[in-house]
Amino acid sequence: MTDKKYLYPLKFDTIFKEKIWGGTKIKDILGKDFAPLSNCGETWEISGVPGNLSKVSEGVLKGQTLPELIDTYGGDLVGKRVYERYGNEFPLLIKFIDAAQDLSIQVHPDDKLAKERHNSLGKTEMWYIFQADEGAKLITGFNKDTSKEEYLEHLNSGRLTDLLNIEEAVAGDTFYLPAGRVHTIGKGLLLAEIQQTSDVTYRIYDFDRTDDQGNKRELHTEQALDALDYHHYTNYKTRVSKGLNEAIPLVKSEYFQTNLLEFTTGIIREHYDKDSFIIYTCTEGEAEIQTLGQTTKISMGNAVLVPQKFPEVHIRTKSGFKILETFVP
């Protein structure tokens, strides 16, 4: 077993995903070279999804995967309660998404349905918009209470969007999407996505797109019926009172909590009351993350995993930053 003294704030190799709707902002704005792919719709920054396991990019643990790290360090890495709940499965997935075209209209199952059908966690997620083209929009939820029958009628007659809630999106907006909420990311948006560790998506409508071979992507009409939440909700967009040089709560759920740190100077974050790792995802500026003499740089487009054994985190900066701070409650 590796000596626990070797734990430190961890960065991982980026996993690049070419998508039918992907663009070039991952390179143009985030500075990440996704060659030889022709586009990049998603980067997976911290992933424990089988087949897409993140590997440490720096330090003495370079090359080790997340499950290997958890197997070695257990609660010192993820927190005792998190380890008891999830074992060697890392519970969160951190992505950046560039939508050059609209994504498919889709829904994700909750834990119960995902476990029954796919032996997987469900997928509750959040989006933080950090670049938006003028007029960019997205879909989240229904615009009125509906029923399975009314939904199917609109879907089959090509009028599904008449039932859907369309939101304008600008930089700094946050959207929380519990499992079961119909949604899509609209073209022109670059965002950070924080979600449960799951890759289960039910595609409802894909705008009749075809791939290079002229094939349409598979739809999951029947699977989506029992996954959808047909209720209408108010305030689909998260309302926050933004403040400079303070931690602003964005999302508080049973799966993860996320704060926005927008600071012009260095800060000390104390997490003695948390039994969880902390993930810092940078959406603007740059900083240094320090824990007990260990220093890791973070800048826009990077994510850093701070092990639970470091409950005090010093974040130093010369230029200021916007960072999403995420942990398991």
Catalytic positions are 203
Maximum distance among all Cα pairs of the chain, rounded to whole angstroms: 62
Start-to-end CA distance of the chain, whole Å, equals 28
Question: Looking at this protein, which amino acid is placed at residue 1?
Answer: M
Q: Which of 97, 101, 96 is CA-nearest to residue 20?
A: 101
CB 187, CB 101: distance < 8 Å:
yes
- Cα 208 to Cα 163: distance, rounded to the nearest angstrom: 19
Indicate the DSSP class of residue 309: T
CB atoms closer than 10 angstroms to residue 230 = 18
- CA Rg, the chain, in Å? 20
